[in-house]
Amino acid sequence: MIKDFSFYIPVKLVFGEGKLAAAGDEVKAIGKKALIVTTGELFKKTGLVDRLAKVLAAAGVASAEYSDVSPNPLHTEIDAGAAFAKKNGCDVMIGLGGGSAIDAAKGMAIALGHDRPIWDFCMGPNQASISSKTLPIVAITTTSGTGSEGTQWAVITNKATLEKPGIGSDYTFARVAIVDPELMVSMPPKVTASTGFDALAHSIEAYTSTLATPITDMYCEEAIRLIGKYLRRAVKDGKDREARNGMAFANTLGGFSIAVGIVTVCHGLAHSVGGVANTTHGESLAAMTPQTMRFSMAGNPDKFKNIGMFLRDEYVNLGQERLEDSVREVERLIADVGLDNGLSKQGVKEGDIERIADGVVRYMGGSIEIDPMNPTKKDLVEILRKSM
């Protein structure tokens, strides 16, 4: 029997090498002046911001750039960006970069559209609702990870409270997502590995989530196969065009999957870890995914058994696959791409563990509820200790 389900992803996907050139016509259809949001000055220095601005100008779209965004975007940076966009008369937000830039662009679209600080929409008893006042968003990804171009989610950090919640609604999907593998060729190996593992974690978690659907299952299975086949190659040789294309498509599938299946306990932990210790998201996921798999796999053994098979790009499970085999296949990939560093090597201290677990319970509770084993705080603490 096919289970009952709902599926909604209102994102126009423009995929392929050279598709940055399509940005002008796509943005022209939804706005007159774009704010190009990036993290730091890297894309300005490499000329990518100027390339995009010229593409927009050729279509009659004006633009301004805002680059004061951290790798874990801060709510204060998003408010400042929204004020900058308002001053410059921008009516469409373009996130150019990885998940940080795209998430920040989403946050600015919310804050400016509602004329309120973004943290009002993040958490708390008086949390504001995200409405149709949100400005239109275009996502142009330069990494094969995060999946933000295909989801409604944005992750925002409060440095004062050390909280890092995810927010989103139907109004924060990008109107258009441009996935151009040519833009990913210059990604350094460490970033390729980290973002690529994020895409794998998305696919594992959406596949085993209690919200999984037959459609997201297909997406996740193919994404895991592609990552098993291409992530090592992309890390080894960033100019491997086949590997870059494969990883870009895997990330797109994983992003669409978490828009519906969402994420489970590992991502819930990673959000809180990042808020407390300011870690790199993909690296934290790599440290914890084996232990979260070991914890959760009893709740959905048939699917967890398949993960190792998918990573090896095999198509027949003879019933001899053990649950631990899938975990070890993931661990082999982690080691091969240089991400085998525990949380302690990433700056997480033993004294942080209780606060991290509390954070998951307080503001990432959804990731617990849809995990097949619905962990308690005690379980979270144990997973964190085993991942140190």
202 shares its domain with 227 = yes
19 shares its domain with 42 = yes
pLDDT confidence of residue 303: 95
218 shares its domain with 143 = no
Coil, strand or helix at 137 = strand
Q: Do 222 and 288 contact (CB within 8 A), yes or no?
A: no
- Residue 61's CATH number: 3.40.50.1970
Q: Do 130 and 110 contact (CB within 8 A), yes or no?
A: yes
Tell whether 3 is covered by a domain: no
Radius of gyration, alpha carbons of the chain: 20
Give the pair of three-digit tokens for residue 108: 């600015």
Annotate 253-283 with DSSP letters as a single string.
Answer: HHHHHHHHT---HHHHHHHHHHHHH---HHH
171 shares its domain with 209 = no
Query: What are the phi and psi torsion angles at 45 (to 5°)?
Result: -65, -35
Number of domains in the chain: 2
Residue with tokens 């970069």: 97
The pTM assigned to this predicted structure is 0.95
Tell whether 6 is covered by a domain: no
Find the distance separating the first CA and the last CA of the chain, reported in whole Å. Answer: 42
Of 184, 206, 234, which marks where a domain is finished? 184
Q: Where are the alpha helices (DSSP H) in 62-116?
A: 75-87, 99-114
234 shares its domain with 283 = yes
CA 48 – CA 311 distance, rounded (Å): 34
CA 58 – CA 36 distance, rounded (Å): 16
Block means of pLDDT (10 residues each) for the chain, 388 residues, are 91 97 97 96 91 98 97 96 98 96 98 97 91 98 91 95 94 98 94 96 98 97 98 97 97 96 97 94 97 96 94 73 90 98 96 96 95 97 97
CA quadruple 150, 282, 324, 308: dihedral positive or negative?
positive
pLDDT confidence of residue 319: 59
240 shares its domain with 264 = yes
Tell whether 2 is covered by a domain: no
Coil, strand or helix at 105 = helix
246 shares its domain with 359 = yes
374 shares its domain with 297 = yes
CA quadruple 117, 121, 124, 126: dihedral positive or negative?
positive
Residue 358 lies in domain: 189-386
> From the CB of residue 10, how many other CB atoms can be counted at a distance below 10 Å?
11
Q: Which of 258, 231, 253 is nearest to 242 (CA)?
A: 231
